Structure 1
């Protein structure tokens, strides 16, 4: 692989990692505009039939609405693996989320473990990944 190709691959890898981080930041801060910014107009989210299947931006709306009552939420990402293939990429990342909610007159700490498996596409006219 040429030096230019190596640098381009590193830039693409970093761009996908940044999108994963932005997703987490958007739901932690209830920043709908930031969450929408990671999705292409025709992006599709599949969280399973019992949770959400539909336009990508819609899942941001749903999650932010569900998190309104949560006192604190923090998503920590680890073990990010990305496979680049031209203008497409696949990623897998693990997430540990800490949530604090009011329950029965007290505050309850909940820890959730997730695995994010995503497909990405770079669309230059839309600004990249």
Structure 2
């Protein structure tokens, strides 16, 4: 293999590891799994979730149980991903669609957000993790009251996703491991 081919191979391996990091973030957030999220950030990483939080990512993760408590459904979907890598440093602009069904004092509402993550990643000790993540909202659609109906006869008998260890994925998979509370 030539030096150029070897460099390209390492570039694509690094890019794939970063893509897996991004996907694991969505999985951990949707399952309300703070310990899985904690493993994705460097200990000195920053997180900027706007009005919800701005500061050290570990402090944000500590506050997540409170922030996520009213979230009956979280469903993050990654769409367009642009990543640039320079050695052990990388940046990503990650487009997302994030659905939230949140309980409120007058009943549940649906919030669909189209946005982006502005990410900075660092590879330390051979492992890519978030060094800084900022959340940008491009648009939002709110349905009040919620239009989600998990009792409709059309989905009778379906497996229904849930936050935490009650999600069907915890018992279905052998290879895809989950943190347990």
TM-score tier, shorter chain, comes to 0.7 to 0.9
Show the counterpart of 2:23.
Answer: 21
Determine which structure has the larger helix proportion and give its number.
Answer: 1
Q: 1:92 to 1:29 in 2, by over 3 A?
A: same
Instruction: Note the residue ranges of structure 1 that are not aligned, 5 or more in a row.
Output: none
Q: Please point out which of 29, 40, 46 is paired with 1:44.
A: 46
Which residues in structure 2 correspond to 1:1-129 (within 5 Å)? 2-48=4-50, 50-103=51-104, 106-124=107-125, 127-129=126-128
* Preserved contact between residue 19 and residue 38 of structure 1 (Cα < 8 Å): yes
Partner deviation per Cα, 1:7-29 (whole Å, 9 max, x = no partner)? 11001001111111111111110
* Preserved contact between residue 74 and residue 98 of structure 2 (Cα < 8 Å): yes
* Preserved contact between residue 98 and residue 114 of structure 2 (Cα < 8 Å): yes
Cα distance, 1:66 vs structure 2? 1.0
Cα distance, 1:45 vs structure 2? 1.7
Question: What is the aligned-residue RMSD (CA, Å)?
Answer: 1.8
* Preserved contact between residue 72 and residue 100 of structure 2 (Cα < 8 Å): yes
TM-score, with length taken from structure 1: 0.86
Looking at structure 1, the residues matched to 97 and 81 of structure 2 have their Cα atoms a distance apart, in angstroms, of: 13
* Preserved contact between residue 34 and residue 64 of structure 2 (Cα < 8 Å): no
Cα distance, 1:4 vs structure 2? 1.4
Q: Secondary structure at the match of 2:42?
A: coil
Q: Secondary structure at the match of 1:30?
A: coil
* Preserved contact between residue 100 and residue 112 of structure 2 (Cα < 8 Å): yes
TM-score, with length taken from structure 2: 0.63
Looking at structure 1, the residues matched to 114 and 56 of structure 2 have their Cα atoms a distance apart, in angstroms, of: 24
